[in-house]
């Protein structure tokens, strides 16, 4: 088992435990994706986790060490953010309308804006747009 495999296993196990405890979570399945020209393209019909406000999905683009959280917003649009807390680098959890850092309690909204510290900077954001009616395009180069 490689270091990456072990980390992913631990994340999955911890995520499953949090979900079981009713604490909310992002989709526990990490979808590996292959960017093309710096863009990830997700066929929305193929990702029911993103259907409806509050939906979330975790994708791991080829070449990335950390996943990207893809989040369906109340207004029908989507956000894509890094899950890495800007305080000291822990991985935030999706808990309903918020992303919460388990380390020191920083809280972000689903677009990565800080709601409560100690973090002072927003999560890294990746621009998103919907193309061709049902393809969510995430620009990885910001």
Residues lying near ligand FES in the complex (CB under 6 A) are found at: 85, 87-90, 101, 103-106, 118-119
Nearest-approach distance from CB 5 to ligand FES, in angstroms: 24
User: Phi, psi (5° rounding) for residue 84?
Assistant: -85, 115
Terminal CA-to-CA distance of the chain, rounded, Å? 32
| Closer to ligand FES by Cβ: residue 35 or 118 | 118
CA distance 132 to 119: 37
**Least distance CB 112 / ligand FES (angstroms):** 13
d(CA 79, CA 111): 6
Based on CB atoms, which residue is closest to ligand FES, 99 or 136? 99
Least Å distance, CB 13 to ligand FES, is 20
CA atoms within 13 A on the CB side of 7: 8
Helix, strand and coil percent figures for the chain, each rounded to 5 = 15, 35, 50
Residue closer to ligand FES by CB (options 114, 136) is: 114
Q: In the complex with ligand FES, which residue's Cβ is closer, 33 or 68? A: 68
- Rounded to the nearest whole angstrom, what is the least distance from the CB of residue 80 to ligand FES in the complex? 19
Cα 1 from Cα 26, distance rounded (Å): 24
């Amino acid at each position: 088992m490689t270091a990456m495999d072990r980390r992913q296993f631990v994340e999955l196990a911890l995520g499953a435990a949090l979900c079981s405890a009713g604490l909310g979570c992002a989709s526990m399945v990490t979808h590996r994706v292959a960017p093309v020209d710096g863009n990830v393209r997700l066929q929305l019909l193929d990702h029911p986790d993103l259907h409806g406000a509050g939906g979330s999905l975790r994708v791991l683009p080829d070449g990335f060490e950390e996943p990207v959280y893809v989040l369906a917003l109340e207004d029908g649009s989507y956000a894509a953010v890094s899950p890495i807390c800007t305080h000291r680098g822990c991985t935030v959890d999706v808990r309903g309308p918020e992303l919460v850092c388990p380390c020191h309690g920083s809280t972000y909204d689903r677009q990565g804006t800080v709601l409560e510290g100690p973090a002072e900077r927003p999560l890294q954001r990746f621009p998103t747009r919907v193309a061709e009616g049902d393809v969510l395009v995430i620009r990885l180069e910001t």
